[in-house]
Amino acid sequence: MLDIQFIRDNPKLVEEKSKQKGIDVNVGDLLLLDERRRKLVTDAEKLRAERNELSADAKGKKPTPAQIEKGKKLKDKLAKLDDELVPIEEEYTKALKAVPNMPTDDVPVGYSEDENKVAKTVGEPKDFDFKPKNEYELAEPRDLIDKERAAKITGSRFAYLKGDLVRLQFAIIQFVLQTLNDVEIIEKLIRENDLNIVAKPFTPVIPPAMLRTEPYAASARLNAEEVTYRAGQPEDDLWLNASAEHTLCTMYWNEILPEENLPIRYIGYSTSFRREAGTYGKDAEGIFRMHQFDKLEMEVFSTAETGPDEHLLLVAIQEYLVQQLELPYQVIQKCTFDIGKPNARGIDINCWFPGQGQYRETHTADFISDYQARDLKIRTRRKDGKVELVHTNDATAFALGRILKAIMENYQTQDGHIIVPEVLRPYMGGQTEI
């Protein structure tokens, strides 16, 4: 959530920037609630101060009947105030959480997805001297993907991934872990992009794939309707995570991290689950949009000063990874409308899919500033003793389903086979073709 003090100080700006995100926020109503809440809180505190005084007078000895009488009155008044405060507090919190994060100034203002900007295009789509197939047309006849049987077992949007495709997925995982553990590569990317942050490798993490409602809601990522599956029995209070990011960003919930530990960089590997409600018929073929997919996700906790640069590092890493696979791609600077409620800045990478003849989203990098950390209460104790909110960043390393599809389509041969990208061959025992 946003800092209420910031909203008090900049009501017009908050309303305007929210509108740029396509979110209508009534700051006037929120501030009215804020005022009423503060008045009640102040009144209640005055009564409590009186009560504390009274009970300090009574300590040790038996309280007089007059003291007891006065205490009872205070108690009644407090109870009344409390009854008023509870619903207002509830409404206030709801209204405050409805306010989106403010986009940074370099985010282009736009009111639809179409206003995203292509920041750059890297690599040339290959000229095939045959009509390129999509990943499903390549895989299905060779029994590398079985969606038919999966449908029998689970319904739509699930698949059995098989054979060399699985080996390719594990090769990608190894390649990413290797790359993100390489300080020299990180150092190089920091230098090339002129970033003011340290070269510290990413620690691999396999997080839990489920989480409880309370931390999930605090992460500003719980989107039950469209995205998230409930897990287990209703009484279990567990959700299936829709990205490793959700169980990574909540990891330090309610903690104060020493500044020396920052930045904390993680590369998480997790199966992700998405309901994909409201997408019926969209991307129905193949494995582009599934209810279940594996994903490698980067997550960074940092100080406020380094948050924006950490974001740029994550984008640089994404580009590096895609370049190593020699996939043509575009970097998309998402406009205010498209970056999402908790984001201050959002960059996508769209890879070229010859089977569809278009660039499509394979990566996203979210800079969330302190918006997540405020509600999650993740703070850092600075060297001077001051306690501040951390900044969080998360970004896709590879969404494995989509990147498999990209590799298959870009590396296909006329006879329907797939050349293994060079950087992955060491992780496949030197195998050059699938």
Partner RNA sequence: GGAGAGGUGUCCGAGCGGUCGAAGGAGCUUGUCUUGAAAACAAGUGUGUCGGCAACGAUACCGUGGGUUCGAAUCCCACCCUCUCCGCCA
CA distance 352 to 330: 8
Q: Go through the chain and tell me how many residues it has.
A: 434
Structure tokens at 12: 């017009």
Cβ closer to RNA: 238 or 434?
238
Could you tell me the smallest distance in angstroms from the CB atom of residue 306 to RNA? 20
Cβ closer to RNA: 33 or 351?
33
HSE-CB at 253 with a 13 A cutoff on CA atoms is 16
CA distance 338 to 347: 10
Could you tell me the smallest distance in angstroms from the CB atom of residue 247 to RNA? 14
Could you tell me the smallest distance in angstroms from the CB atom of residue 76 to RNA? 9
Cβ closer to RNA: 41 or 205?
41
Cβ closer to RNA: 41 or 119?
41
- The residue type found at 340 is G
Cβ closer to RNA: 13 or 256?
256
Answer whether 317's CB lies under 8 Å from 265's CB. no
Could you tell me the smallest distance in angstroms from the CB atom of residue 386 to RNA? 7
Could you tell me the smallest distance in angstroms from the CB atom of residue 62 to RNA? 6
Rounded to a whole number of angstroms, the CA Rg of the chain reads 26
Which H helix or E strand runs over 203? Answer: strand 203-205
Could you tell me the smallest distance in angstroms from the CB atom of residue 39 to RNA? 9
Answer whether 429's CB lies under 8 Å from 334's CB. no
Interface residues toward RNA, by CB under 7 A:
4, 38, 41-42, 45-46, 48-49, 51-56, 58-60, 62-63, 67-68, 71-72, 74-75, 235, 237, 256, 379, 381, 385, 387
Phi, psi (degrees; rounded to nearest 5) at 403: -75, -30
Beta-strand ranges (E) seen in 206-289 are 210-211, 230-231, 238-240, 256-258, 264-273
Cβ closer to RNA: 4 or 423?
4
